[in-house]
Amino acid sequence: MATITFAQALNDAHKIEMERDPSVYVAGEDVGTYGGIFGVTAGLLDQFGPKRVRDTPITESAIIGSAVGAATVGLRPVIELMFVDFIGVALDQLYNQAAKMKYMFGGKAKIPLVMRTSCGAGIGAAAQHSQCLEAWFMHVPGLKVVMPSTPYDAKGLLISSIQDDNPVVFLEHKMLYASEGEVPDGDYDIPLGSADIKREGNDVTVVATAQMVHTALGAAEKLAADGISVEVVDPRTLSPLDEETILNSVRKTHRLVIVHEEVKFAGSGAEIAAVAAEKAFDQLDAPILRVAAPFSPVPFSPPLEKEFIPSEEKIIQAVKTVMQG
């Protein structure tokens, strides 16, 4: 296996699926000549040509709307929305059209559409380019929501997403694009709805997503020095959610801390907490705690942005609190 970046892993997934299936095409702002603002689509235009790698105007409603139409007639669009924050101007096309067509046409319609988009804070992009909005998409029946944390997961999950016959929202945290990891050279897939245990432990389960997986792993390493064994679970997909892996971990450790970069109020962690409370309440020895962003727009100021993003220290404090029962 080669050691490559998160962005390169996504690029490999694009190439594999575009070589496999001529109905797969890529569209979005600057995805062609420029190769995407994060480099994910670099080289695709040269390899596959302008009919299958299309630069678009800065019109998110047209990007998503045209992809929905293309998907209904047999193409498999992979569209790039630069920032998830921009989804507001095209939400109708995604949640009212793409997500509902299969249901409204009695299961006869297929909408094999992937919307890739960046999310998350950490680069000083301020309130309109830094949000984590995964809970929005989780709430919509008909959408699948994918959120990888490693290059290995990014490639395998994107391959599965492109092959899926349903609309998939594929969320990529900006701070992960340059991260590196071992990735197989060839083709492989990771089933959607399959969580991964990133670190095994016995005392506390920490469920974390995207960049927060790495923050949680850092906290777990420090807690190990204090004799606290933390199990870190990465859902990888939030819809469908692998409840069984999470619940089995909670039943083993009897404690649960949930970490995400979304604002805490009504975030994805609230759903995970509810699942644990409803299905594993008798196995819990302490209240469920969430470590998340405050209910605030993302600040531009570097010190404020740093405070906004959940830290290892906040995770450590939450773990020690649940250890006390």
Segments making up each domain of the chain, as ranges: 2-183, 196-323
- State percent of the chain over pLDDT 90: 99
Options 1.10.1060.10, 3.40.80.10, 3.90.870.10, 3.40.50.920; CATH for 196-323 is 3.40.50.920
Positions in the chain short of pLDDT 70: none
pLDDT, residue 325, reads 79
pLDDT, residue 238, reads 98
Question: How far is Cα 42 from Cα 284, in angstroms, rounded to an integer?
Answer: 48
Burial 12-33 (b: 16+ CB within 10 A, else e): bbbebbbeeeebbbbbbbebbe
For 198-209, give the DSSP string.
EE--SSEEEEE-
Query: 249 is written with which tokens?
Result: 């971990």
Contacts of 240 (CB under 8 A, 6+ apart): 144, 192, 193
Active site (annotated) includes residue 129: yes
Task: Write down the catalytic residue from 14, 129, 173, 260.
Answer: 129
Question: How far is Cα 51 from Cα 74, in angstroms, rounded to an integer?
Answer: 16
- For 2-183, CATH gives 3.40.50.970
Q: ∠ CA 188-190-191 to the nearest 5 degrees?
A: 130
Whether the full predicted model's pTM is greater than 0.75, yes or no, is yes
pLDDT, residue 108, reads 93
pLDDT, residue 173, reads 98
118 membership: H or E segment, kind and range: strand 114-119
Q: What is the pLDDT of residues 127-159, one digit of tens each?
A: 999 999 999 999 999 999 999 999 999 999 999
